[in-house]
Amino acid sequence: MQARFHRRPRIILSGLSGGSGKTVATLGLLEIWRRKGYTVAPFKKGPDYIDTAWHSLSAGRPSHNLDTFLMQPADILWSLDAYSRSADVAVVEGNRGLYDGMDAEGTHSTAELAKLIQAPVVLVVNCTKATRTVAAFVLGCKMLDKGVNIGGVILNQVANIRQESVIRSSVEKETGVPILGAIPRIKGLPFSERHLGLLPPEEHPRAIDALERLHKAMLDNIDADAIWNLAASSPEFVVPSIVCAEPVAVSDVAPRIGVFRDSAFTFYYPENLEALERHGAELVEISGLRERTLPQVDALYIGGGFPETHAQELAENASFRASLRREIEEGLPVYAECGGLIYLGESVEFGGKTYPMAGVFPVNFSIGEKPQGHGYVVFETDGQNPFFSKGTVLRGHEFHYARVSGYRHEEVTTVFNVKRGYGFDSGRDGLVRKNVLASFCHIHALGEKNWARVMVDAASSYKTCAAGAGSRGEAL
């Protein structure tokens, strides 16, 4: 097979820490380039759903995640190439600080990703109450790992012209790194935050207007042409071939997999949905907020999101919850992550009120003020379940504020041994009932390549059993 080369311009926007302004700068750049007529492929380093949702809205195309913990290097290079092939440029937003990773060596950091994809880095620096010290920060980042190409700096939260002038002079003199933008303190940018970060665009009352205002604020403060030239300096790399890119034999009759997609359930990696379709599934979008009964499907995928902020609406839709329980009792395969697990519990307490949920698992949840699980996880499968064989080790991430406030231990079976992370309770996760598997873990299809195939196989088996029996059958 002839080697393919990736030659697209690409850039990474990183920072000194979380809260540096990376997302604002990234969205500003996406807005500027898109409005100039360029096709921009957005990416996010790390396991993030909300930033990617804003990227997607701004760029007019899906944003994809690049994560060196969840994926192998070959998967990342393939993904970058595949999802930017039809674009003019790729923009990658980093996470946390440039060198922040899982350990003192910065393993799985944005810097590690930058070296892997051979992309120049633009540092976004919050300049609040600082001048020449900014040069020290930039110089430190430049010298810590000379394999990282720091090609420019965007100053953020600049108080006035004098501060900008002093910082610009000191950074360029002491480091040789050019200043590619200076974003002033902007009052009233309409990007609200809550417990998991930015308010998702699906729930933002004026998301398009927010991006319009951001574009106007960024247009005169970012040197987009200089950043473009920096991105264009990226060297080519050989695109590896990976398993998920190979053709898959599919059945003539596609099983229907329902996907909960509304403002309550928005956390899905595009690659996961694409993998299900590639293995032959027909995806059917379902809303637990609007639909009165569950439509006929052969399996369900319930992702994460914010069921707690929609708890009253979900609770009021009693007919839908009842129909879901009936189908589960008849053996419907269901795979649920995080918010999906909460929805399948008995109740959720949020804002001082308790709301009934689907009642599949005898578990009560409450949403606190601090994260209960936050970070990468490693789970080992040690019990029977519909989707993963015993011994399977899953790598994923968890990020939630949900606490298990009570459950009937004798009625809850778990099949995941938590090797890293918090999980459901007492070092366990992966709740199983009938053909349902639910956990706090979010997985990525490029990292867990068998998941989509097994999910579609379960749906196909259920479809076949139902057709043979003339009705929905027993658990598989």
Q: b or e along 250-267 (b: 16 or more beta carbons within 10 Å of the residue's beta carbon)?
A: eeeebbbbbbbbbbbbbb
Contact between 222 and 143 under an 8 Å Cβ cutoff? The reply is: no
Distance from C-alpha of 305 to C-alpha of 55, rounded to nearest angstrom: 17
CA dihedral 420→422→424→425, nearest 10 degrees, is: 100
Cross-strand partners of 436: 334, 433
Strand, helix or coil for residue 463: helix
- Triad 210, 213, 217: Cα angle to 5°: 135
Catalytic annotation, pick one of 127, 141, 244, 338: 338
CA dihedral 19→25→26→29, nearest 10 degrees, is: 180
Contact between 440 and 422 under an 8 Å Cβ cutoff? The reply is: yes
Contact between 377 and 346 under an 8 Å Cβ cutoff? The reply is: no
Contact between 180 and 153 under an 8 Å Cβ cutoff? The reply is: yes
Strand, helix or coil for residue 154: strand
List C-alpha distances in Å: 470 to 56, 293, 467. Answer: 42, 20, 5
Count of other CB atoms within 10 angstroms of residue 413? 14
Distance from C-alpha of 214 to C-alpha of 211, rounded to nearest angstrom: 5
The dihedrals phi and psi of 463, each to the nearest 5 degrees, come to: -65, -45
List C-alpha distances in Å: 425 to 26, 347, 348, 428, 430. Answer: 37, 17, 16, 5, 10
Contact between 279 and 456 under an 8 Å Cβ cutoff? The reply is: yes
Q: Is 338 part of the annotated catalytic residue set? A: yes
Cross-strand partners of 349: 354, 366
Which tokens go with 77?
Answer: 């290079």
Distance from C-alpha of 342 to C-alpha of 315, rounded to nearest angstrom: 12
Distance from C-alpha of 170 to C-alpha of 132, rounded to nearest angstrom: 6
Choose among 92, 124, 121, 111: nearest CA to 19: 124
Distance from C-alpha of 331 to C-alpha of 353, rounded to nearest angstrom: 32
Distance from C-alpha of 199 to C-alpha of 192, rounded to nearest angstrom: 5
Catalytically active residues are: 338
